[in-house]
Amino acid sequence: MGRGRAKAKQTKVARELKYYSPSTDLSALERELHGPSLFDSRPERVTHTPTSAESDDGPDEYAKWATGER
């Protein structure tokens, strides 16, 4: 009992979402689906720089826990 209003609200929201149709930018969709050409640009090389937590010489938290150190 008492669930009637909540269910009615959910039904109303679901119906609004089902029939909601925002304006669609078809040219943007076409660009997204087409993707970049192989000849458009060259991919940049990504290098990984360690953070201070990664460059720490001591054991990490899991290693401390696994060995029983506290």
Per-residue pLDDT at 6 exceeds 80: yes
Angle at 28 between CA 26 and CA 32, to 5 degrees: 115
As a whole number, mean pLDDT of residues 27-52 equals: 73
Task: Give the pLDDT of residue 57.
Answer: 61
Read off the pTM. 0.31
Query: If we measure between CA atoms, which residue out of 50, 49, 47 comes closest to residue 60?
Result: 50
Distance, CA of 12 to chain centre? 28
What's the chain's average pLDDT?
78
The two tokens of residue 42 are 């060259």
Digit-coded pLDDT (tens) for 44-68: 676 766 666 555 566 677 777 778 7
Long-range contact list for 33-41, CB < 8 A, 24+ apart? none
